[in-house]
Amino acid sequence: MDGSRGVAGTGLGQTRSLSVGGVLLGGKAPVVVQSMLTVQTTDVDACLTQIAQLASAGCELVRLAVPSSAALGAFGRICKASPLPVIADIHFDYRLALKALQQGAAKLRINPGNIGDTEGVDAIIDAAGAAGIPIRIGVNAGSLATEFAERCDLTLFEKLVASAMAFVEHFESRGFRDIVLSAKAHDVRTTVKAYRLLAHKLPHIPLHLGVTEAGTLQQGTVKSAAALGALLLDGIGDTLRVSLTADPVEEVRVAWELLAACGLRRRTPELVSCPTCGRCEIDLIPIATEVQQRLQHLQKPLTVAVMGCVVNGPGEAKDADVGVACGKGKAAIFSKGKVLYTVDEPHIIEALFKELDRL
């Protein structure tokens, strides 16, 4: 199940299509999932191990900090060995971006507001253009264009949009078109307002969605789901990163769950499970938890139901490919609303996955 920005949402139009190391982004391409490494760039083995873990979880693009010239050699080795296209994350020093291009970066992420003078930004634009490498212009609430940062007549989301638009205008004035744009804040409302306005003002520019500094696993998941879910349902967004203070594999898992919940893309089965109530005569929570954990390793776009009683059983979950409706010490295994057979409580999970294996 795939999806892209445009007709399914607000009908905002179709963004430009570009390639990041062979991964299509924008246009009619599905929303791309990406994450960022948390280990030191100079530790090549650790980086490649984490990239492999992210790729296994469904990550499609990976970003890596290039904080100094000392990291460039390792960055180049990582680019050559990585199974995923590698994006160089550059701040403050434009020369690092130029050298990262030479080392094999598939894309650059810069914030022109903190790179320095215009000459440095222009050097990056021209080098990336000559190499055919896209650039994400990443505007954050903490690093706005200087001409907008201190203006009291603008709200924060207006400053984000004004900064982003000014940067895009400058890039395009130099003939550079392979632009991806982000305008992140840690506040949900600010983020949503900024992206909605950017999608209206710059309908041709692919947008990278994210809530910056969203927090730890639970808080960050909730904030990201609130903001990015609203935008995706509007048809806004071409790629996303769920930023969590957690293992980056969790970012990828949450991203896929979010895309699936919005009806855009699905990689693993969807679990439909009831919250339980006084009618439930079985300990459903550990059953549902184990089923969810095991489903993460099954790459089939199916729907699996775990229901606590006959009220929420085959009737409300009749569309499930496979499901279980529990009773006292027993459960009915069903498919597409039709009961197949019953099993005793200790054999529920085994029977459920036996039916899944047949699909």
pLDDT for the residue numbered 12? 52
- In CATH, which superfamily holds the domain spanning 18-261? Dihydropteroate synthase-like (3.20.20.20)
Domain 18-261 matches domain 270-357 at the CATH topology level: no
pLDDT for 8: 34
For residue 10, the model assigns a pLDDT of 33
Which pLDDT score is estimated for 137? 96
Q: Structure tokens of 236?
A: 């806004």
Fold type of domain 270-357:
Sulfite Reductase Hemoprotein; domain 1 (3.30.413)
pLDDT of the residue at 115: 85
Which three-class secondary structure state does DSSP give residue 69?
helix
The stretches of the chain forming alpha helices (DSSP H) are: 44-57, 72-81, 94-102, 112-115, 118-131, 146-149, 156-173, 188-201, 217-233, 248-261, 284-295, 348-357
**Mean pLDDT split into 10-residue runs, the chain, 359 residues:** 36 81 96 97 98 97 97 98 98 95 97 86 97 95 78 88 94 97 94 96 96 92 96 96 96 95 91 84 90 88 87 75 90 91 93 92
Closest to 182 in 3D by CA, of 124, 121, 238, 139: 139
Provide the residue count of the chain: 359
All residues at 6 or more sequence positions from 54 whose CB lies less than 8 Å from its CB, including other chains: 35, 62, 84, 248, 249, 252
Q: Where are the domains of the chain?
A: 18-261, 270-357
